Structure 1
Amino acid sequence: MTARREVDLDKLLPYPRWRKGQYELAEFIYSNLGEGRTLLIEAPTGFGKTIPTLIAAFKKGVEEEKDIIYLVRTKNEAQAPFTELTNLRAKVGVDIWFSVFQNKRDVCAFKEFRILDYEEFLLRCKMFRDRGICRFFPEDCEKIYSKVAELFFNSRSLEEAYDKILSNGICPYEAMRCLSRDSNVIIGTYPYIFKEDIRKVFLHSINKRLEDSILIVDEAHNLPEYLMNTFSFRLSVFDLKMASREASKFMSREISREFISLMNLLEKWIKSLASTMNNEIKIVRNFGELIVFADDISRFRSEVNAAYLRYIARRNTGRSYLLYVYRCLSNVLKTRMQGYILYVSKTPVTALVYQCINPSVRVGKIFSKPWSVILMSGTLPLREYLELMLGLRRESTVEYRVEGRVKEATEIFVAKDVTTKFEERSEHMFEKYADYIYNISRLARNIVLVVAPSYNLLRKLLKLLLLRGLKTVIIERENTRIEGIVRKIKGLRRRGAETIVLLAVAGGKLTEGIEIVEDSKSLINTVVIVGVPYPEPSPLTEEMIKEMNKLTRDPRKAWESVFEAPATIKILQAIGRSLRSKRDKATIFLLDRRFIERDTLKNLVEQMNEDYNIITLEDFKGYQ
C-alpha cells in the first residue's frame, strides 16, 4: 500500500491561493469528518467545492487510514475530481493514487453489449470472462499495472485515458480495478454503491469496505429522484408475452409450461385491473396478489439462469425479457412494498408499475455504514427532506451552506398575471406565456433559457413562438442529446444570430448539464421559468401524498417532499445554468403568480434577491 503520513491543508492546495471561502469549507469538513457523521455541503456554482472537499477528506483519510469513495451521477461529472486529483498528484510531496470507474457497460470493448440492461450486461460479461472469450480481460494485474498507471496518470482527460487503455487491448474497467489496489481515492458512478448486487461485487473486487471509507456523493440534489427511479420498475403486457416466448425456446417443455402459465395469470390480472380504469392510472391497494406472483416466480431461479445461458449461447445480443421479468418480480420480495406504491398505467402501453416513493427503506443502511459521509451540491435540498428520503440520522448530521451568488448576480422579475396552475390552464394563458417569452427575447442578447414543467407545454410554446415570427429557437425533446443542442447553438451564432431562445424542460438534460461558455462567461444570461415545475396532479401524486403523510405524520412535510422540494431543486438548477463563474450576471423571469402567493415560493424568491420586481405583460408595451 501507499505510505500514509500527515499532511497540511495549505500544503495540499495545487493552486497559488484559496478562493474566497474555500479554506473555511475545507476546515469545516476536516474538523467534522468521522464518528459516523454525515456532512451536508452546499456551495454555489463557481465556488470550487471539489478541491477543498478532496483536500480535507484526503488529509483526514491519511491520518485515520481511511479510503475515499467519491460518487458522481454521470460519467461526465467524473472529470472534475479527475482533474483536481491529477493536479494534486503533480504537486511535490503529495502521494495520492486514484482510479475512476465509469459505467462498465459503456466502456465495454464489445459495443453490441452496450444496449443491454446493466444487470444483464454483468451476467454476459462474467460469462465471457469465465469462458476465456474476452481478449480484453487481463489475467494478471501485475503484468499490466505499470502500463496502466503510465497511461492513466499521463492523460489530460478521462476520455483520453480510457481510449489509451482500450487501444492497448485492456478492458478499462479491469485496468481501474488493478489500479485500485493502491488507490487512496476511488471515483465511480452512483450504481457502484447504491445498487445492492453491484455494490457487493464491486467493493469485494477492489478490496474496499464502506466501514473504512469516507463516502462523498457529488450533485446530491439528484440523489432522491435518482434512487426512486432506480428502485422502481415497469412491467408491461408486452414484456410478459416476450418472456413467455423466450421460456418456450430456452426452458424444458414441462418447466416452460409452468412458467408461461404464471405469465398468463399475471397478464390476465394486469388487464383486469386496466379494464376498470377511469383515469390514465389506477392505484392498486391490494399488494397480496403481486407478492404471490413474486413468490411463485422465485421457484424458477435456477431454470431462469440456465435459460439465459442458452439464450446467450445462441448469440442473442438484445435484452432477455425472461431475465427482466424475473428480476422485476424478485425486487418485490426484497421490499415487501415498504416505501412503494403500485399502479397500472395505459401510457404508452398497459403496464404494472412498482414505484418507489421513499428510497430510505433501501439506502438508510448504506448511509449508516461508512466511517463518514459527505453529500454536496450547488443546490442542496433542506436537511429535513434529505433525512426523510435517505434515512439519515438527525443526531449525526451537520450542514455547511455557503451563501450563494444569486443576489449579487441577478435581477429578478415575477409575473403576477400568469400561472400554469392546472385548473387555470387555457389557450389564452398559453398565448400570454408566448407573448412574455417573445417580448423578453426581443430585449435579451445571447441565449434565453426558457424552462417549462413538461414537454407537452414546451411543444405548445414552440408552435406559438414560431407563429409570432421567432426563428432562432431550439427545443429540447425527450431524446435530445446535449452535444446536439450545443452544435445547433454554435451554428446559429456563426450565422449571426444575436439572440437564441432555448426551450428546456425542468429537471431535464439541459437544465442539469448544459454549459455554453465564451471567454469564461456563460452565454445564458436570461432565464425564464414558465410556471412552477410541480408534478402534474394525478391519482399517483395523491397516493404519494397519502403515503408520505403516513410516514411523516405531518401533512406539511408530506406536501413538501412530493411537490415543494423537487420543484425548488429544478428551479435553482435552471437558474444555475446562467451563473457558471464569478463574472456571470443574469436576468431571471419567474412567470407564475404563485411565486408571490405561496409562502415557500415567496421565501425562495426573497432568498435569491429580496429586491425583486413584480410585473405584468402590460409592462412590455413600451418596448414593442
Structure 2
Amino acid sequence: MNIKIYCVNPQKVIEEKMKKAKSNIIFSATLIPMDYFMKMYSYDEEDFIINLKSPFDVKNRLLMIGDNVATTYNKRFETSCDIASYIANCVQAKKGNYMVFFPSYKYMELVFEKMKENYPDINTSIQESNMSEEEKEEFLSMFDEDNKETHVGFCVLGGHFSEGIDLTNDKLIGVIIVGVGMPQIGIERDIIKDHMKDSNKGFDYAYVYPGMIKVLQAAGRCIRTDDDKGVILLLDKRYSQRIYQSLFPYEWYPNFRVRKSDDVKTLCEKFWSK
C-alpha cells in the first residue's frame, strides 16, 4: 500500500517559514491573480504590494485571440484541422522560428500529425517526453536566428520550454498557445476545489488559476528584450469568458479577436510590414 501526503493548502507552511525571516521579497511576472497569491502566501494588511507594468513596448508585439475554436477534450479531434490551419496561417506570414504550446502530449501529437499531413512544407519538431539535457539543448538549437526557412516547435505547457528558456531576438518570433492550460480533472485537484469551496472559488483555485499561470509563462517566451518583436496567438473559446479576461495582464491590451484563420495571416502580415 502506498500512502501519499499531499499539501492541499501551503499557506500555513509558507507563513511559518516566512515569519522566521526579518523580511521577505516575492517577485514574479506571473503573480496573477494577485488575491490568489496573497492568500497562498498568507498576506498581512501591513505587507507592501506593487504591480508593475511590463517594461517592453506593446507596439513590438501582436496579441491575437481566436475564441471561436473549441479545445476541450471531447472537441480536440474535431477541431484539430482548424488548429493546424491557425498555426499555418500565423507562421506563413513571416519566415522565422515559432513555438506552439499544448496542454498535453497526446493533444500535441494529434495536431502535429495534422500539420505534417496538411502542411508538409513547414519544418516542424516536437518535444518528446522525458528528454535528457542533451536532447533539450538539441531541440533548442533548431531555433537559430539564421535559419533559412521557418521552423515550428511543438511543446507542452508547464514543461521546460514554456518556463525556463530565453530565445532572444529572431531566435523566436512567435508563440501560439492552444487551450487555457487547465490541468486534467483528477482527485488531487478536486481535493483543492473542495477545500476552497467556502470562498466560492474552489474550481478557480484548483483549475483555472494554475492553467492561466502556465499560459502566461508560455506567452512570456515571445518577448525577452527591448529589441524583440513577435506575435502571440491564443486559441480557445474560453478566452471570451469574463473569468479568463480578468486574468489578462496589462500588457495583453490592446489585442485582436480573430474569427477565422485567414484573419491571423492578414493581421500578422500587417504587423510585420511596420
Q: Report if TM-score (shorter chain) is over 0.5.
A: yes
Letter in 2 for 1:611: P
Say whether 1:525 aligns with 2:170: no
- Structure 2 residue aligned with 1:447: 97
Question: 1:545-582 CA deviation, whole Å, 9 max, x = no partner?
Answer: 11122xxx2112x2332223212221111111111111
Match among 78, 88, 104 for residue 438 of structure 1: 88
Say whether 1:461 aligns with 2:105: no
**Which entry has the higher C-alpha Rg, 1 or 2?**
1
Question: 1:73-112 CA deviation, whole Å, 9 max, x = no partner?
Answer: xxxxxxxxxxxxxxxxxxxxxxxxxxxxxxxxxxxxxxxx
- Structure 1 residue aligned with 2:199: 554
Say whether 1:480 aligns with 2:131: yes
Map 1:60-459 → 2, pairs under 5 A: 267=1, 352-390=3-41, 392-404=42-54, 405=56, 407-422=58-73, 424-459=74-109
How well do the aligned residues superpose, as a CA RMSD in angstroms? 2.6
Structure 1 position 532, deviation (Å): 0.6
- Structure 2 residue aligned with 1:504: 155
Give the Cα separation in 2 of the matches to 1:459 and 1:472: 15
Matched residue SS, 1:411: strand
Matched residue SS, 1:388: helix
Question: 1:384-423 CA deviation, whole Å, 9 max, x = no partner?
Answer: 2223223x2422321122211363332111113212223x
Match among 563, 569, 572 for residue 216 of structure 2: 572
Give the Cα separation in 1 of the matches to 2:111 and 2:97: 17
Q: Which runs of 5+ in 2 are unaligned?
A: 267-274
8 Å contact kept, 1:489–1:500: no
Q: Which runs of 5+ in 1 are unaligned?
A: 1-266, 268-350
Matched residue SS, 2:112: helix
Give the Cα separation in 2 of the matches to 1:494 and 1:547: 48
Give the Cα separation in 2 of the matches to 1:379 and 1:610: 16
Relative to structure 1, is the Cα distance of residues 430 and 510 closer, same or farther in structure 2, using a 3 angstrom cutoff?
A: same
Question: 1:257-305 CA deviation, whole Å, 9 max, x = no partner?
Answer: xxxxxxxxxx3xxxxxxxxxxxxxxxxxxxxxxxxxxxxxxxxxxxxxx
8 Å contact kept, 1:486–1:516: no
Relative to structure 1, is the Cα distance of residues 401 and 483 closer, same or farther in structure 2, using a 3 angstrom cutoff?
A: farther
Letter in 1 for 2:227: R
Give the Cα separation in 1 of the matches to 2:249 and 2:32: 17
Matched residue SS, 2:227: coil
Structure 1 position 587, deviation (Å): 0.9
Letter in 2 for 1:615: V
Structure 1 position 492, deviation (Å): 7.3
Structure 1 position 359, deviation (Å): 1.5
Give the Cα separation in 2 of the matches to 1:599 and 1:511: 25
8 Å contact kept, 1:450–1:529: yes
- Structure 1 residue aligned with 2:272: none
Give the Cα separation in 1 of the matches to 2:249 and 2:146: 40
Matched residue SS, 2:130: coil
Give the Cα separation in 2 of the matches to 1:403 and 1:509: 25
Give the Cα separation in 2 of the matches to 1:406 and 1:508: 27
Question: 1:193-226 CA deviation, whole Å, 9 max, x = no partner?
Answer: xxxxxxxxxxxxxxxxxxxxxxxxxxxxxxxxxx
Select the structure that is richer in helix. Answer: 1
8 Å contact kept, 1:522–1:579: no
8 Å contact kept, 2:145–2:170: no
Matched residue SS, 1:473: strand
- Over 6 Å off, 4+ runs: none
Give the TM-score, by structure 2 length.
0.84
8 Å contact kept, 2:179–2:236: yes
Say whether 1:599 aligns with 2:274: no
Give the Cα separation in 2 of the matches to 1:621 and 1:541: 35
Give the Cα separation in 2 of the matches to 1:384 and 1:615: 31
Relative to structure 1, is the Cα distance of residues 580 and 618 closer, same or farther in structure 2, using a 3 angstrom cutoff?
A: closer
Q: Which is bigger in relative contact order (C-alpha 8 A, separation at least 6)?
A: 2
8 Å contact kept, 2:108–2:156: yes
Letter in 2 for 1:499: T
- Structure 2 residue aligned with 1:236: none
Letter in 2 for 1:569: I
